[in-house]
């Protein structure tokens, strides 16, 4: 095909949604909460439908053979930036693309990708970035399935790893980076902050400074799982991270009714990850993408309300005689944890609404409390409109060896709570009666 032939076909291209909308009105830069209602979608393209239709199709009709070739050049990575047209639903689709545009907005990321789960996002990131013999340097603890993915699955293919504890200082991080560098190529630095289930924060700025000092020009990217505080309360791209990972199942989805993941970052990194996603098909489906578009419209409302509720509930729990300690980011300063409080001040815009409650007692007391809750539901997961409570030692972290549990502070008197958007006083009354039932 020649360029002249392609130029002749412009009149028959199907209209495309507005991808590079700037989000400005009369010079005013619009806020994410405003942009969630319309960014990346033009009703004119769908018979005036206010909301985007759900595009249930496996494939898309090319306007011409030349256009098909051009689109495949984008899909296969011959030309960076992804396909400029719609091709096949393993690669892209209107709902997923609108979602990706809107996900980018919150953190002013250059680009974003949607995935079928948080874990499929993380696995695709690793497959795209890491090869046999490479080392992943990571913070610890990580979400249990991420630890399994690195140590067990990638380990099978000769990938090595080294970790440092979440609160590590610059000197401690430097020591681990030096050790990793000495054993070969460091392909990726992977963080999770706050860490699950301890809420320990990672000093992203110190990690970036250490990486820059130790690796110079040939530096590995820094990726971070920002599921617990993002995108409202922590924006790691502003603190030196290159790639941000989400379980969109949690706060972004926010209604405990879907499973999905996201990755944001620079166009170059996203292009690399997109090629891997195109190959293995870890994109989310159109219905899930549509549900997430609905969820993002209320993301700020939900996270703000849940954050206010958590502050009230934690203030109540903190002074209750049956409570030993509340592991809530808003209390770091008051509890005298200078290192964590310093990281919090520099990185976080709010304390979020997922925290740890340490009761006086052990498993029996924790179970009595959990069984007595009436409004809060006994379930794992977090970030939904409803308040959830669970027992990490006996549930999500049951398989973690006793020694490691001890080192991480996952004790039998630890109850994990994710606060929802209910009435705060009703929640306080529920926690009060459940504590009194112990």
Ligand X SMILES: *Cc1c(COP(=O)(O)O)cnc(C)c1O
Q: Which is nearer to ligand X, 247 or 276 (CB)?
A: 247
Residues contacting 44, CB < 8 A, separation 6+:
15
Q: Which is nearer to ligand X, 188 or 424 (CB)?
A: 188
- Choose among 274, 235, 225: nearest CA to 96: 274
Nearest residue to ligand X on Cβ basis: 118
Q: Which is nearer to ligand X, 247 or 295 (CB)?
A: 247
Q: Closest approach of Cβ 390 to ligand X, in Å? A: 12
Residues contacting 175, CB < 8 A, separation 6+:
none
b/e code 284-301 from CB counts within 10 Å (16+ = b): bbbebbbbbbebbebbbe
Q: Closest approach of Cβ 382 to ligand X, in Å? A: 6
Q: Closest approach of Cβ 388 to ligand X, in Å? A: 12
The enclosing H or E element of 317 equals helix 299-318
Q: Closest approach of Cβ 145 to ligand X, in Å? A: 6
Looking at residue 149, the DSSP 8-state letter turns out to be: I
Which alpha helices (DSSP H) does 168-285 contain, by range?
A: 170-182, 204-215, 267-280
Q: Closest approach of Cβ 314 to ligand X, in Å? A: 20
Binding residues vs ligand X (CB under 6 A):
117-119, 143, 192, 196, 225, 227, 247, 249-250, 259, 261
Q: Closest approach of Cβ 253 to ligand X, in Å? A: 9
Q: Residue length, the chain?
A: 438
Distance of alpha carbon 312 from alpha carbon 421, whole angstroms: 12
Q: Which is nearer to ligand X, 83 or 200 (CB)?
A: 200
Q: Closest approach of Cβ 354 to ligand X, in Å? A: 9
Q: Which is nearer to ligand X, 139 or 271 (CB)?
A: 139
Q: Which is nearer to ligand X, 74 or 352 (CB)?
A: 352
> What is the DSSP track for 5-40?
HHHHTGGGSPP----S---EETTEEPPHHHHTTTTT
Q: Closest approach of Cβ 92 to ligand X, in Å? A: 21
Distance of alpha carbon 388 from alpha carbon 381, whole angstroms: 8
Q: Closest approach of Cβ 248 to ligand X, in Å? A: 7
> What is the DSSP track for 65-121?
HHHHHHHHHHHTTSSTTS-SS--BTTT--HHHHHHHHHHHHHHT-SEEEEESSHHHH
Q: Which is nearer to ligand X, 118 or 392 (CB)?
A: 118
Q: Which is nearer to ligand X, 64 or 381 (CB)?
A: 381
In 227-322, where do the E strands start and end?
243-247, 261-265
- Choose among 284, 286, 279: nearest CA to 260: 284
Q: Which is nearer to ligand X, 120 or 309 (CB)?
A: 120
* Angle, CA of 2, 267 and 114, to the nearest 5°: 100
Q: Which is nearer to ligand X, 209 or 380 (CB)?
A: 380
- Packing angle of the helix pair 94-107, 286-297 (nearest 10 deg): 40
Q: How far apart are the first and last CA of the chain?
A: 76
- Choose among 116, 124, 52, 121: nearest CA to 89: 116
């Amino acid at each position: 095909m020649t360029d002249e032939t392609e130029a002749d076909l412009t009149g028959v291209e199907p209209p495309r949604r507005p991808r590079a909308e700037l989000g400005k009105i009369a010079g005013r830069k619009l806020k994410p909460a405003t942009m969630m209602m319309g960014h990346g979608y033009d009703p004119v393209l769908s018979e005036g439908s206010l909301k985007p239709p759900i595009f249930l199709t496996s494939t898309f009709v090319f306007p011409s053979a030349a256009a098909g070739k051009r689109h495949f050049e984008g899909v296969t990575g011959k030309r960076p930036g992804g396909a400029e047209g719609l091709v096949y639903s393993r690669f892209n689709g209107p709902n997923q693309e609108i979602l990706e545009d809107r996900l980018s907005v919150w953190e002013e990321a250059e680009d974003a990708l949607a995935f079928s789960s948080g874990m499929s996002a993380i696995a695709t990131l690793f497959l795209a970035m890491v090869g046999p013999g490479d080392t992943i340097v990571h913070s610890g603890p990580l979400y249990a399935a991420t630890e399994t993915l690195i140590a067990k699955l990638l380990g099978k293919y000769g990938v090595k790893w080294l970790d440092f504890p979440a609160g590590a200082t610059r000197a401690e991080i430097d020591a681990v980076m030096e050790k990793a560098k000495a054993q070969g190529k460091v392909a990726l630095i992977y963080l999770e902050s706050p860490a699950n289930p301890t809420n320990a924060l990672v000093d992203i700025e110190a990690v970036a400074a250490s990486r820059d000092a130790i690796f110079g020009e040939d530096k590995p990217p820094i990726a971070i799982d920002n599921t617990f505080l993002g995108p409202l309360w922590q924006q790691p791209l502003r603190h030196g991270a290159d790639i941000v990972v989400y379980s969109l199942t949690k706060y972004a989805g926010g209604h405990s009714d879907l499973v999905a993941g996201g990755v944001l970052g620079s166009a170059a990194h996203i292009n690399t990850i997109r090629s891997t996603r195109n190959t293995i098909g870890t994109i989310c489906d159109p219905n899930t993408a549509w549900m997430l578009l609905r969820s993002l419209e209320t993301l700020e409302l939900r996270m703000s309300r849940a954050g206010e509720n958590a502050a009230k509930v934690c203030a109540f729990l903190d002074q209750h005689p049956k409570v030993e300690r509340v592991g809530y980011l808003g209390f770091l300063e008051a509890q005298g944890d200078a290192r964590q409080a310093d990281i919090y001040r520099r990185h976080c815009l709010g304390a979020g609404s997922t925290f740890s409650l340490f009761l006086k007692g052990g498993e029996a007391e924790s179970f009595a409390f959990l069984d007595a809750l009436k409004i809060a539901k006994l379930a794992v997961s977090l970030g939904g409109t409803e308040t959830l409570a669970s027992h990490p030692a006996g549930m999500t972290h049951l398989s973690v060896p006793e020694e490691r549990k001890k080192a991480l502070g996952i004790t039998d008197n630890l109850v994990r709570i994710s606060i929802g958007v209910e009435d705060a006083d009703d929640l306080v009354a529920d926690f009060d009666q459940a504590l009194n039932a112990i």
